Amino acid sequence: MTEAATDQHRGDGDGSGGRRTHHFRAYVRFADLDPLNHVNNVRMLTYLEDARLAFLHWDSRVDGERRMGGLVVARHEVDYVRPLQMRREPILVETWVTDVRHSSFRLAYEVRDADTGTDTVYLRATSVMVGFNQREQSIRRLNDEERAFLREYLHE
């Protein structure tokens, strides 16, 4: 079970100035666990993928229009901060933008406790996303609407 919501960033003193951050809640499933009863590192990337898709709505229509065109992941950088174990409470994947260029942008994520009163971080990561033309199998420039949407979530 998953759910997504878009909220204002909490302003942790990270210099974000209250910029928008996408919040995605997910539940740890038994199938996500490794033999040590921790969420497998590959499954953690699946949480990031689910959050990214919910945030960008790529290849789907939002309010009758596409939010983002074709994209590919060019790079992931992941820091596993603390093991995540089976639990009843959802986890929160916070996503925001740290850089917008002509053909690419960088996303930042934190996987943390959601609605538990604690602020435990389990993972910090970044992804570089590149505009991609599937028909031509080539890199494409992001259009003005895509860059404007991404700048709403830009934390410099």
Which DSSP string corresponds to 42-59?
HHHHHHHHHHHHHHH-BT
Instruction: Tell me the CA distances in angstroms from 153 to 10, 53, 87, one per residue in order.
Output: 13, 15, 30
CA distance 153 to 22: 8
What size, in residues, is the chain? 156
pTM of the model: 0.84
81-136, pLDDT tens digit by residue? 999 999 988 999 999 999 999 999 999 999 999 876 678 999 999 999 999 999 99
